[in-house]
Amino acid sequence: MATGRNHRPATSRSRGIPDATVARLPLYLRALTALSERSVPTVSSEELASAAGVNSAKLRKDFSYLGSYGTRGVGYDVEYLVYQISRELGLTQDWPVVIVGIGNLGAALANYGGFASRGFRVAALIDADPAMAGKPVAGIAVQHSDELERVIEENGVSIGVIATPAASAQPVADRLVAAGVTSILNFAPTVLSVPEGVDVRKVDLSIELQILAFHEQRKSGELPDDGRAVPGTDIGEDAGGGVTGSPVAPPAASVTKRTASAAPAATDRRGDEPGNDGDLPAVMPA
């Protein structure tokens, strides 16, 4: 998963569709599209729910926000539902998208086929590196950052994708917004601050992995002891660690007055320059 929403004061749902439901509509749409391709005429809420990996009651309630599109005793008409959900999501219109930061990730995104098939169209690829300019990626010539504003205006772009290093993300976001973009998908590991009315969604692999690690640790049963409860046996693992040697050593629990010089964290980082840690998007451009 990408990671949660961002900003936007909870009272966001314009007409009444809950955010949680909106987030599931693409899931339903995907499942329905698959059924459509297999020429299945109708599905029950039960079948569709299991295909989408959700609870059938939840699915029915979700659909109830869109209207009564089902037929009792039969189920839902696949084609009709595909259309209704597409329309509700705004996928029946063309969405020109600009991708900023054509590194490894940006290139991967540009190549993504699911883009076009869902109403999205890559209007331009932008990179700050002059050496990239003109290079074709996914059949589209990369343009220099200078062209950003012009491209946005000419194509009426309202959705931008940021795949730059963290340091560039905020400036890029500012320029996108200034040029008229009102929705941003951010792959850089930074908190973007944007004016009211601009939507930001964040995707961060690093966070997803850390969440997995948390649950993994719990499963192995061996959650490290409380850190303060057993002051004598704490460091055991960390001290000897070679490759396993972990980034952080346990500082003293007592707080008052401890200057940075005493900070053990400075000794970690196996070879990365400090400051470069989260500097690149989860999926890093070259």
Closest to 95 measured CA to CA, from 70, 65, 115, 71: 115
Of 27-56, which residues contact a copy of itself (CB under 8 A)? 27, 29-31, 33-34, 36-37, 39-42, 51-53
Q: Does 92 bind a copy of itself (CB under 8 A)?
A: yes
- Enumerate long-range contacts of 34-40, CB under 8 Å, 24 or more apart: 35/78, 36/78, 36/79, 36/82, 40/78
- In whole angstroms, give the CA distance from residue 71 to residue 118: 27
Looking at residue 225, the DSSP 8-state letter turns out to be P
Stretch touching a copy of itself by CB under 8 A, among 56-64, 89-97, 124-132, 139-147: 89-97
Question: Residues 1, 61, 141, 213: which binds DNA (CB under 7 A)?
Answer: 61
- Residue closer to a copy of itself by CB (options 134, 251) is 251
- In whole angstroms, give the CA distance from residue 98 to residue 194: 18
> Residue 188 — φ and ψ, nearest 5°?
-80, 140
- Residue closer to DNA by CB (options 24, 144) is 24
Q: Does 16 bind DNA (CB under 7 A)?
A: no
Q: Work out how close the CB of 175 gets to a copy of itself at its nearest, in angstroms, rounded to a whole number.
A: 18
Q: Does 46 bind DNA (CB under 7 A)?
A: yes
Contact status, residue 183 vs residue 159, Cβ threshold 8 Å:
yes
Q: Does 10 bind a copy of itself (CB under 8 A)?
A: no
Place of tokens 């973007």: 192
Q: Does 178 bind a copy of itself (CB under 8 A)?
A: no
- Per-residue interface string for the shown chain with a copy of itself, residues 227-266, x marking contact by CB under 8 A: xx--------xx--x-xx-xxxxxxxx-xx-xxx--xxxx
> Residue 15 — φ and ψ, nearest 5°?
-105, -25
Q: Does 57 bind a copy of itself (CB under 8 A)?
A: no
Of 233-262, which residues contact DNA (CB under 7 A)? 255-256
Contact partner, 131, from DNA, a copy of itself, none, Cβ < 5-8 Å per class: none
- In whole angstroms, give the CA distance from residue 248 to residue 178: 41
- Residue closer to a copy of itself by CB (options 55, 149) is 55
Contact partner, 114, from a copy of itself, DNA, none, Cβ < 5-8 Å per class: a copy of itself
Contact status, residue 283 vs residue 187, Cβ threshold 8 Å:
yes
- In whole angstroms, give the CA distance from residue 281 to residue 188: 4
Q: Where are the alpha helices (DSSP H) in the chain?
A: 19-37, 45-52, 56-66, 78-89, 104-110, 148-155, 166-179, 205-219, 236-240
- Residue closer to DNA by CB (options 63, 126) is 63
How many of the chain's residues bind a copy of itself (CB under 8 A)?
140
Residues in the chain: 286
- Residue closer to a copy of itself by CB (options 74, 141) is 74
Stretch touching DNA by CB under 7 A, among 30-38, 69-77, 193-201, 241-249: 69-77
* Residue numbering of the annotated binding site: 101-106
* Residue numbering of the annotated binding site for NAD(+): 101-106
Report the interface residues with DNA, using CB under 7 A: 10-11, 18-21, 43-46, 54-58, 60-61, 63-64, 68-76, 255-256
